Structure 1
C-alpha cells in the first residue's frame, strides 16, 4: 500500500450502540461495523472492539494492520468527556497519527457539513449541537447517570417510572402502562429489570412509547411532549433560533418532530449525511494539518 500516493485516512464514528470504522483513499472506500464504543462506560471493551475493527479493516484491504499505522486517523467516540481520556484512547490504539474527540463532532459535521444548523441527537444517549457563523456549541452527552435527557434510555426509564406511578394511582392508567405492567410481570418485574438494565435495554422500552404515542395514548404522548420540550429548551439556551435548520438524529430523535412547537417543527430537515461521513470530513481536516 502506498499511503502517500493514495491519500488515505481512517475515520471512526463510535456510538454507544454501533461503531463504524472507515478507510478512504483516492480509489477505495471500506467501512466496517463493530459493537458499542463508549470509552466511559466500558473502556477496555471499547478499545478492544476498536482494535478488532481496525484489524478487520486491514483484512478487508488485504494488508497487514501495521501498514495502517502511519495513516492519519480521526476517532469520534461516545464517552470522550475530556482531554485525559482522549489522550489515553489515542495511546492505546495501534496508530501513530490520531485525533480523538467525542462523537458529537462527527454527528454535527455529518448533518450540516460546513453550513449553519443544529442537531438534537437522541439515540441510546443524547446531546445537542449547533454551528453558526463558524462557532460550534455543544450540550449534553454526559451519560445516562447525569444527563442524556430525551434519549431512548431516558424515555424507557421514564415510561417504567410512570407505569409504577399508574399502579400507585398517582396518574391514570393507559394502554401503555397496562402493556408494560403485563410485559414485565408486575411491579416486581419492573423493579428487578431496572436494577440491572443497561442503557440500550431501557432504550428498547422506548419503542413501546413511540408506538403508543402514535395511537394517541395519553401517557405516551405526554412523555414525548416532555422530552421534545427538554430538547428545545436546551437548543434555545445554546442560541438556536428558527433561522437555523434543525436535524433530529439517532434512533428516537426523528420521532420527536410531531411533538415540537411549530417554530421548531417547520425547520426540521434531513441530515446531509451520516455521522461517519462527518468523521471522514474531520479526518480530512486532520490530515491536512499534518506536517509534510
Structure 2
C-alpha cells in the first residue's frame, strides 16, 4: 500500500510577482506568500524569499523550520533556465530533499491535475505544454526577444507593426490602426515608443486588441488569428490530439478560443487548480519516489 500521500510535503511556486510556500501534511494545507522570486534576475533575492517563506510557514503551521526543511519539496521558480541555476539554488536553499525546476511544470500539473491534455499559457509571456502518459513536454517561455509568441507583449507589438503597415498602404486602415497612429503621434511616435518599451508596456496594449477583435476590427482580428495559428500549430507539434483536454490560461490565453480550430475550441476545459496545487502534487510524486527508494 502506498502511504506516501500521508507524508507531509512542501510546494513552492515563485515568479516575478510573488512566491508562495505551502505545506500539505495530508490533512490540510498551510500557505504563506512572500515577494518576487526570479532565479535568473536575482538569485540571492530568490533564496531570501524562499527562506523567509519557510520561516513564516513554520510559524503559521506550528512546525519548527528545522523539521520543515527535511520534508520532500518541489520548488518551481521563474528563471530556472537550466541545470546550473538549479544547482546554485540547491546549494543555497536550506531544503534537504528538493526537486528544483522552473515554474512551468507546476502550472501544467496545477491546471490539468493528472489528466492527459495541453496548456497554452499566454500572459505577458507565453509557453505551451503537453501532459500525457505521466510525462510532460514543455516549450517556449524564452522571453520577449527570442520567443513568447501569442503573449500579451507579442500582441501589442503585432498591433503596432500592423498600424505601420497600414500607414504604408500595405493594408486597409482599421479603427484600431487609426487609433494607434493618432495616440502615438504617427509612425515616428510608434517607432520611438517601440525602441524603449518594456514587455509590460507592449502588453498593456493587448486588451485593446482583444476588445477590438470582438468588434470585428480587421487589424485586431488578424493579430488574434496569427496568435491562434501559433497556439494551434505548437500544440499539434507537441502531440495534442482532438478529445484531449486543453486549458487556456493567462490574461490573453482565453481570448484565443474563438480563433482556434473547432476541435481545439471544443476541447477547452476550465483549470482544475492553480500552480501551487501543481507544486504540491509534484512534491507528492517526489515523496513517493523517495519512499520507493527506501523500500
The two structures have a TM-score, normalised by structure 1, of: 0.86
- 8 Å Cα contact 2:9/2:71 also seen in 1: yes
TM-aligned CA distance change 1:130 to 1:170, over 3 Å: same
**Greater Cα offset, 177-186 or 197-206:** 177-186
TM-aligned CA distance change 1:173 to 1:55, over 3 Å: farther
TM-aligned CA distance change 1:182 to 1:92, over 3 Å: farther
Unaligned residue ranges in structure 1 (runs of 5+): 1-5
Residue 21 (1) aligns with residue 12 (2) = no
1:201-250 per-residue CA deviation (whole Å, 9 max, x = no partner) reads 32222122112212211111111110010011011112211031211112
Q: Tell me which residue corresponds to 1:279.
A: 279
SS at match of 1:23: strand
Superposed, 1:181-200 pairs within 5 Å as 181-200=181-200
Q: Tell me which residue corresponds to 2:255.
A: 255
Q: Tell me which residue corresponds to 1:213.
A: 213
| In structure 2, C-alpha distance between the alignment counterparts of 1:259 and 1:273, rounded to whole Å | 25
How far did 1:149 drift?
Answer: 0.9
Residue 230 (1) aligns with residue 200 (2) = no
**Greater Cα offset, 23-32 or 280-289:** 23-32
How far did 1:114 drift?
Answer: 1.8
How far did 1:283 drift?
Answer: 1.0
TM-aligned CA distance change 1:37 to 1:181, over 3 Å: farther
Q: Tell me which residue corresponds to 2:84.
A: 84
Q: Tell me which residue corresponds to 1:3.
A: none
Q: CA RMSD in A?
A: 2.7
How far did 1:35 drift?
Answer: 4.6
| In structure 1, C-alpha distance between the alignment counterparts of 2:285 and 2:200, rounded to whole Å | 32
- 8 Å Cα contact 1:79/1:143 also seen in 2: no
TM-aligned CA distance change 1:290 to 1:38, over 3 Å: same
How far did 1:272 drift?
Answer: 1.6
How far did 1:32 drift?
Answer: 3.2
- 8 Å Cα contact 2:8/2:25 also seen in 1: yes
- 8 Å Cα contact 1:13/1:103 also seen in 2: yes
Unaligned residue ranges in structure 2 (runs of 5+): 1-5
**Greater Cα offset, 179-188 or 98-107:** 179-188
| In structure 2, C-alpha distance between the alignment counterparts of 1:188 and 1:54, rounded to whole Å | 50
Q: Tell me which residue corresponds to 1:244.
A: 244
**Greater Cα offset, 161-170 or 102-111:** 161-170
Q: Tell me which residue corresponds to 1:105.
A: 105
The two structures have a TM-score, normalised by structure 2, of: 0.85
1:154-213 per-residue CA deviation (whole Å, 9 max, x = no partner) reads 112222222333333333332222333344455454444433333233222212211221
Q: Tell me which residue corresponds to 2:145.
A: 145
| In structure 2, C-alpha distance between the alignment counterparts of 1:288 and 1:258, rounded to whole Å | 41
